[in-house]
Structure 1
């Protein structure tokens, strides 16, 4: 970690540092945690900077003063309009972030930094409200649960949740929630790190939900469409219905499908997200552009850029079988997935982070055995204490 924050005292100090911006766009949770530990007196400030960078995408280019003024007027109008809507809805959190962003933007524009305001201001109030709910959910630990209004129902790990046509929820043959007792339009399925679940919707669609994921779906699907919202990873086998398309909403893109099998990886804390098609056909809407996928194609996005390419789909969906198929991923990428899958923090020396691996790991084995198999390729030692694992030479 070559980031020197010792002289930084406000958000703009961070975002005016091109080295920091380059680093934060690629940094993993483990590296961000190390930064906060290295500067404990700036922990709160660093957390605010991370929130700011999450909502604002920044790139350094030279622009004319006229362009700066035009862009600022346009952005300022959008910010004010959005904030007025949020005040009416009494949603303070996003309003605070937008206000903070606006204050920083005024300073940053004056130094010839062009800001692409990446909060999707075109989102409907309903969608924005759903994403705000997902942001508030803690998935670091605990059991799988369904949140419906003020009630929370605990579900066993890797259990199958069944939604009936009336909107009742079953686990096996046991009734967990009756539709008449659900006093909210949307339900949230929370799958903490180290847990997984399967959800069978009333239309026949099946969803496998991976560790560290949050899924929102309606009590009853609408008349014209079937919509779910995800922060995390989900594999779907969608029941065909040409009159009622199925939509998967994420913060970065939207997937439309009539009936097919595909995987969506859309963790909000990952720099790259993807949609991988196994069967059928889907359209991915991103940056106001529709991208139609054919089987064995992947839509991969990151840093406001995306690509469509042909892939081997198995490494993307093998997690549904308890397998991690590796095809040259770095140790830092693998550790993040292991940490999420097993629900345990893993700390490592950065010099190991770029080591790459091929093969597969059986995730039904213990985390220690998975690390042992990795260490056979690149020797390292690991110790476990206080529900964390430390990798050393």
Structure 2
């Protein structure tokens, strides 16, 4: 069966217009593929085929989407738990075989070269804590044992896997000292708990500076990059996250801060509770589902897609009308690669989700689907139109 016939059959199946024989063919075909895995492709090639064809099938079903900035490309299909998923999978795999063998030699060779020069997703955490005395502690080397710190503090690994500070009662009166935890590019997300019980998750290419023991009338930390916070409630001791002139003040709540230096705006997204975002003399109170975008002023955004914002913490890349540059900045941090553009930067928008544990070449297929050429030279991605 060729590509056109497979798509025609799929469309009739979705519209419930198949004959009994055609319906049985689709479902038997699907069952056979599931049972035997009878596809002459590697596991990685099957994944590439699937992600390529998800966009094509969506366009067959609902038509392509576009906006003023160029075409919009969807990277992942959100599967529904209904019978016609079987037909879609069959079409993905069968049409994918056709696509792999029917592209031009240049494109096929490019895809093979990319896989050969691949970059793997981070497999471990390479975070390091810089103590007040300048000593650097690599978390992975101390993760299975307690680490004694100045001021009667201990750094331990909890049963949940989190890294946490444990405070002895005798430490309450200690002089304040600061630690900085840095999670470099190309490192898995770090989960930690501060001495007050506040939990935070630190994305790749991010850091947090904090006091080992919170004293005085405020719990203040400083951020670079991106972190999600679940702040331990304390009416008498507000929690403040600072980045330059911007401060986020809370009592106890859940929120995300994206403060990468190479992003246009600092973004604060509230999931639960309430936060006050202040930039200079301007201040804004957020409610759950709202986002503050801070540049020269503060812009309020309602109805934020929380799943999109929190994708990084949940092991996903998620894009909504993202430019090529936005996509590449996320990839550069996660895979610890640099990006170079040759010629004019392509103008396209991307939507969808892709798991972050994929190799780089698999994720880059979203560019290939937009007819944007790329190659991987060591730890550099070269993007051309």
TM-score, normalising length: structure 1: 0.57
Matched, 1:347 2:340: yes
- Post-superposition, which runs of at least 4 consecutive aligned residues in structure 1 deviate over 6 A? 159-165, 173-184
The aligned residue for residue 154 of structure 2 is 168
What pairs with 1:1-393 in structure 2 (closer than 5 Å)?
143-148=126-131, 149-156=133-140, 167-172=153-158, 185-195=177-187, 196-302=189-295, 304-310=296-302, 311-349=304-342, 351-376=344-369, 378-393=370-385
Q: Which has the larger radius of gyration?
A: 2
In the TM superposition, what is the alpha-carbon distance from 1:356 to its structure 2 partner? Answer: 0.7
**1:28-86: CA deviation from partner (whole Å, max 9, x where unpaired):** xxxxxxxxxxxxxxxxxxxxxxxxxxxxxxxxxxxxxxxxxxxxxxxxxxxxxxxxxxx
SS of residue matched to 1:189: strand
**1:212-238: CA deviation from partner (whole Å, max 9, x where unpaired):** 112100010114221110011110011
Distance 1:272 1:248, change over 3 A: same
Separation of aligned partners in 1, 2:287 and 2:165: 38
Of 347-356 and 188-197, deviating more is 347-356
Distance 1:369 1:306, change over 3 A: same
* Structure 2 residues without counterparts, runs of 5 or longer: 1-124
In the TM superposition, what is the alpha-carbon distance from 1:335 to its structure 2 partner? Answer: 0.4
Distance 1:162 1:208, change over 3 A: farther
Separation of aligned partners in 2, 1:260 and 1:292: 13
Structure with the greater relative contact order (CA < 8 A, sep ≥ 6): 1 or 2?
Answer: 2
TM-score, normalising length: structure 2: 0.59
Separation of aligned partners in 2, 1:224 and 1:161: 33
Contact 2:211–2:221 at 8 Å: present in 1 too?
yes
How many residue pairs get aligned? The number is 249
Separation of aligned partners in 2, 1:234 and 1:254: 14
Contact 2:282–2:297 at 8 Å: present in 1 too?
no
* Structure 1 residues without counterparts, runs of 5 or longer: 1-141
Separation of aligned partners in 2, 1:281 and 1:234: 17
In the TM superposition, what is the alpha-carbon distance from 1:306 to its structure 2 partner? Answer: 2.4
SS of residue matched to 2:329: helix
